[in-house]
Structure 1
Amino acid sequence: MAQQQNPFLLAADNSPALLPLLRENPALASAQDEHGYSLVHAAASYNHLDLLRTLVREFHVDVNLKDEDNETSLFFVETLEAAKALVEELAADARHRSSEGLTAREKIEADGDFPAVAAYLATVVRNNSDESVESVAAATIPDVINPPPEGMKLTVGTMNEAEHVPSQADPEFRRRIEELARRDDFETPTGQADLRRLVEDAIMGQGLGDGRNVRPKRA
């Protein structure tokens, strides 16, 4: 019996032998090597977009499959086309963070090799944040007077999107909520802590229109 070909090498080469092999043994489509590297990572890295689409759509491979560094295929893209295919067609998570705490955009930006990809991913994250700002800004002062119990995470969506902002809502509070929700670190513990402090300021009647800057200092 002939030895089975290495699917990772076939994916890197975009070999026509790969898909027949996967159709004979579909489990190989989601296989990962000893470092967690997968066929999805390879297809994204080598810009084999048709293969990438096939893996996700036909073989139902998780587009956010993670390697040993908790990095998805989005961390490996080198072209704008691959980044767009992952995000816009296959719903890859552009906000996912690696073991180092970096998003794909932050890692690519730090490496400095593919600035167009980093710029695109920055736009994606910003636009996603903007879509959620309305639900945060729509929260009324009464909605946040009773903060969640200690330890409960307060994020976009925990506030009632169906509520309307009353005419007496403080515009400065709304502005600061919007500003906070646009931050890249909004969903991190730091962002959540800043949100809680802003809500506490509102409850205590502080920081709303008094000119005080509540934006945290960056390290």
Structure 2
Amino acid sequence: MASSNPFLLAADNSPALLPLLREQPALASAQDEHGYSLVHAAASYNHIDLLRALVEELKVDVNLRDEDDETALFVVETPDAAKVLVELGVDVLHRGLDGLTAREKIEGEAEFPDVAAYLATVESEKAGEELEATAAEMVNNAPEGIKVTVGTMDEMQDIPTEVDPEFRRRIEELARREDFNTAQGQADLRKLVEEALLDQGLAEGRNVRSKQA
């Protein structure tokens, strides 16, 4: 008799799984005694179509966590599976109970360097997005003493499009901190952005004076 265990069916990518889940939708978000989910299984075994169906069709939370507080991103073995999880909205910067992100854990285990390299790129992009979002917020709520806009230039044009390498390094370093998503981490991010905007304003002031000289 064929197994009706959804975890075994997911591991085998059995064609019987999705019909079963459509009949019993609650099973799609089920987790075993260790917190292991069908999303973890699909990602681990690189069953991309199943992974998409679970999240997009059956509305399973892509950030389900196991007993080690790890999402499916921690168990991927191919860049393709990692890319799909990122596309589906997995939290790339989430840290498990050991304090590591998926990238840091995979990098440390040194079994799937291509996955670690891909996630390092994504982490860097996420750090840049955090920077842009914080900068945009501060454009509209500039701290006292900081003037962001100059003349009639569009506000968003005043945000540097080319980030100084040292500043980018500091942003990426901050994004990898365990407390990045805490109030302290976000406060430190705002401080870095304030410094960047202040430096930019001073540079623009020098440029204006130079042109008027």
TM-score scaled to structure 1, two decimals?
Answer: 0.69
Out of 177, 180, 184, the position equivalent to 2:170 is 180
Give the secondary-structure state (helix, strand or coil) at the position aligned to 1:37.
coil
1:158 match: none
On the 8 A contact 1:180/1:191 being kept in 2, the answer is no
1:40-99 C-alpha deviation (Å, 9 max, x unpaired): 1000001111111111111100111111111111111001111111112x1211111111
Give the secondary-structure state (helix, strand or coil) at the position aligned to 2:123.
helix
Out of 127, 130, 133, the position equivalent to 2:128 is 130
On the 8 A contact 1:29/1:39 being kept in 2, the answer is yes
On the 8 A contact 2:131/2:193 being kept in 1, the answer is no
Q: Residues 188 and 53 of structure 1: is their aligned pair in 2 closer, same or farther, counting only changes over 3 Å? A: closer
Offset at residue 180 of structure 1 (A): 3.5
Q: Over aligned residues, Cα RMSD in angstroms?
A: 3.6
On the 8 A contact 1:136/1:178 being kept in 2, the answer is no
- In 2, Cα distance between equivalents of 1:77 and 1:102: 15
What does residue range 30-179 of structure 1 map to in structure 2 within 5 Å?
30-88=29-87, 90-136=88-134, 139=138, 143-145=142-144, 179=169
Stretches of structure 2 that go unaligned for 5 or more consecutive residues are: 146-154, 197-201, 203-213
Offset at residue 199 of structure 1 (A): 8.9
| Identity of matched residues, % | 61
- In 2, Cα distance between equivalents of 1:77 and 1:104: 9
More helix by share: 2
Q: How many residues align?
A: 183
1:18-52 C-alpha deviation (Å, 9 max, x unpaired): 11211221110000001100111000001111111
2:210 match: none
Moved over 2 A (4+): 131-140, 142-146, 162-166, 174-186, 188-202
- In 1, Cα distance between equivalents of 2:55 and 2:168: 35
TM-score scaled to structure 2, two decimals?
Answer: 0.70
